[in-house]
Amino acid sequence: MTTATGTAVTVPAGITGAGVRDWARRAGALSPVLAVVALLLVPGGGGGAQGGTGGSGTVADAASGLLVLICLVRVVRSGARPLSRAAAVVFGLPVFGVCLAAITSHDPGASLPGVARYLQIFVLVPAAVLLTIRDRRDFAVVAWALVGLALLEGGVGVVQYLTGTGASYQGEDIRAVGTFGATDVMGMATVVSYGLVVATGLALGGRAGRARTAALVCAGLLFLPLVLSFSRGAWIATVLTCGIQLALSGLRRAGRVALAAAALGVVLVGGFGIGGEMVKERVGSITQVTAAPDQSVTDRYTMWAAAGRMWSGEPLTGVGLKGFPAYRDSHASLALSSGSDTAGAGAGFARQPLLSPHNMYLLVLSEQGLIGLLALAGGWVALLVAALRRLRLGPDCALVAAGLLSWQLVDFFYADIGGPSTVLMSVVFGLAAWWSLAEVRRA
């Protein structure tokens, strides 16, 4: 085995036979990656308010920098070619797009923090994760770490709902946000969604046994905190992604699991009244885009339109990294509010400014133009296609990788980067990139 993606990696047929000692040894080798995941439990410092390309400056971000540094030292000491040609292209194109947008920006100095953030999230940390993972058992350790983080954050979120200590939602402090706080209401929803998608992939693709049963139980447990997050974007992305995973695992199984999931939802929401009318109202608001939409929907569509106008003015390279806030008011209509209200989860009332369009594709298009969007999104699509092509080599890893990529690509229609949870996205891309780009064959 080797960490270089340019060489073949012989792997075992399953990922469930590792003993306690083997997992402990692997966890030690993977500790730089696992530290990034674990440190997300440390409450952030209001990074959610940054929006867009703003950095959160959390301990998890610092750990991601240490991960990159450790990986760089390992590569230099080994003297081996770190990346295959395909991996070099996938990670190299975003570097070109981001740097071009910064150079052509009307304010290159102001764009520099955006360059650092984009390279951290989409290039450096994913590449470091890719090079750190050696085989499918390493893949499993990181995947289960995501599930573990999701269970812990989801548990905190459920307690917040039950005790009325969550973020403010419709005048009550009941929104489950975990340790991310009221300024990053999407943080817990994102983490829980990752965990649910990973658990679903492991359950559908793994062999019958305790690990598969554990994955099914974890997926069921994570359903509740996802509902209590009241995050429409996370709901949509998770439902579509799990549907894709089910379809890839077999249509007959997909039907049975869909019925079981529907029954679970009826019992939790209908039978026990968890979420009750608020969940129904939140679900119904998804379709209210023209008839009496709430202010958050109005703001979102107004910012989407503003991003489109920015792009039409600079179609190839955009207005420059971190340029959306500066150009927002001159391109947005009067329907846009001054910001969104945040409160609860240990924080007082605050007005959070709207600094991004809450759509990753439109954010990149407006700030980096068509060149930047093709460079970034082209790499994401390439990773997804490669993961799907390897479905027969290992359905467990393939369903996890394809599921995480699918969820992220769908969620990007409703969210962008920003906040303490963003660094976990880079780990997810790196995990999926290992399966998509490493030369894997059955033992």
User: Which pLDDT does position 172 carry in this prediction?
Assistant: 85
| pLDDT of 205 | 82
* Cα of 338 vs its chain's centroid, Å: 27
Looking at residue 346, its pLDDT comes to 63
pLDDT computed for residue 43 by the predictor:
81
- Mapped onto helix, strand or coil, the DSSP state of residue 335 is coil
User: Can you list the residues of the chain whose pLDDT is less than 50?
Assistant: 1-18, 45-56, 443
pLDDT of 298 reads: 80
d(CA 194, CA 407): 8
| Tens of pLDDT, residues 255-277 | 666 676 667 666 665 555 565 56
- Amino acid at position 48, single letter: G
| 285 DSSP 8-state letter | G
Question: Would you give the end-to-end CA distance of the chain in angstroms?
Answer: 12
User: What are the pLDDT digits (tens) for 3-58?
Assistant: 444 444 444 444 444 466 776 777 778 999 999 999 999 986 444 444 444 444 78
Q: Say what the pTM is.
A: 0.88
Q: Would you state the pLDDT for residue 2?
A: 44
Name every residue whose Cβ is closer than 8 Å to that of residue 68 and which is 6 or more positions away in sequence. Answer: 124, 125, 128
Report the length, in residues, of the chain.
443
Q: Are 63 and 374 in contact (CB under 8 A)?
A: no
Q: Could you please report the per-residue DSSP string of 201-222?
A: HHHHHSPSSHHHHHHHHHHHHH
Burial class (CB in 10 A: 0-12, 13-18, 19+), 152: middle
Q: Determine contact, residues 224/212, Cβ cutoff 8 Å.
A: no
Q: Identify the bridge partners of residue 442 per DSSP, sorted by sequence position.
A: 11
Residue 236 vs residues 116, 342, 391, 411, 413: alpha-carbon distances, Å: 30, 23, 24, 8, 10
- Give residue 265's pLDDT: 63
